[in-house]
Amino acid sequence: MTHQDDNDSKKKQPVSSKLDPSIEAQIINREKDGEIPCAVVFEIAVSLNIPVKDVGVTVDLMNIRLIKCQLGLFGYKPEKKIAKPLDVVDQDLTDAIKAELVSGRLSCKRAWDIASRLKVRKMTVSRACESLSIKIKPCQLGAF
């Protein structure tokens, strides 16, 4: 879902993918200059009571650039990624992350769940992963 220089992120989706008019209308109302923040995509999904992945697919099909990942992994200017490693990672956080790994990676959804459970910021979890050299993947929106 990340913006591509040729502005053709819809190529990531199957040819059979179709725009849902209700999702499209919400995105049109909320995007600005061809961009939409991650948090807004989640708000749209909640307002329509649909899976966030469905909104992510529509964002791709519309060639809208997804920005401001709530984990700080993409969509920021000028650095693109703002999640920097923590100087020290709390042992409870380390243990929680390692317990949720699948094939050595932590999913975005599980990162959010850990943040909620430990009452820390989502960005704290992603920064801990940076410190531990753990990749966060897949994204709930389909961006990565």
Domain coordinates in residue numbering, the chain: 9-67, 91-136
Does an H or E element contain 98, and which?
Answer: helix 91-99
SS3 40: helix
* Mean pLDDT value across the chain: 91
CA gap 44, 140 in Å, rounded: 14
Q: Is the pLDDT of residue 5 over 80?
A: no
Q: Is the pLDDT of residue 115 over 80?
A: yes
Dihedral, CA of residue 26, residue 29, residue 32 and residue 35, to nearest 10: 10
Q: Is the pLDDT of residue 116 over 60?
A: yes
CA gap 60, 110 in Å, rounded: 23
Contact between 63 and 10 (Cβ < 8 Å): yes
More reliable by pLDDT, 142 or 14: 142
